[in-house]
Amino acid sequence: MKTIHIIREERDKVTFGVMFFNNRFQCFTLEPTDKMIPSGEYDAELYMSPKAKRVVVLLKDVPGRSEIEIHPGNFYTDSLGCILVGDGRFTDALMNSQSAFKQLMDKLSPTDSIKVVLHDL
């Protein structure tokens, strides 16, 4: 099983996180604070996103939500409640999101069992 752990810190408009892939630092994350995904463990899979028009990580069984993805984006306004990734961060944005997303996706295949664990500070 491949495991993605995200440790998050809530702020005013954005919630930043640090993502670990199989216990190694992978990248930074960002979610809109007002649409944060509840802490917990989620099974996930790769799927072709109709919104992103690419294969992304889809979290399953998020309470009260659907189509929750891990996908590229630099600003909290790039997310309707999904998790964005980047290799650096500014005050309220991520840097180099496309590159960070590619590096994550290069480690995953459609046959992988994926677990996403969200922790809040």
What is the pLDDT at residue 51? 87
Closest CA to 116 of 15, 34, 17, 10: 17
Query: What domain count does the chain have?
Result: 1
DSSP secondary structure of the chain: -EEEEEEEEE-SSEEEEEEEETTEEEEEEEEEGGGPPPSEEEEEEEEEETTTTEEEEEE---TT---EEEEE-SBGGG-SS-EEEESEE-SSBEE-HHHHHHHHHTT--TT--EEEEEEE-
Rounded Cα distance between 79 and 71, Å, is: 9
Instruction: Provide the whole-model pTM.
Output: 0.95
Q: pLDDT by residue for the chain (121 residues), tens digit each?
A: 999 999 999 988 999 999 999 999 999 999 999 999 999 999 999 999 998 899 999 999 999 999 999 999 999 999 999 999 999 999 899 999 999 999 999 999 999 999 999 999 9
Could you tell me the residue range of the domain that residue 16 belongs to?
Answer: 2-120
The amino acid at 78 = D
Q: Phi first, then psi: what are they for 104, rounded to 5°?
A: -70, -50
Written as six digits, the tokens of 75 are 């600003």
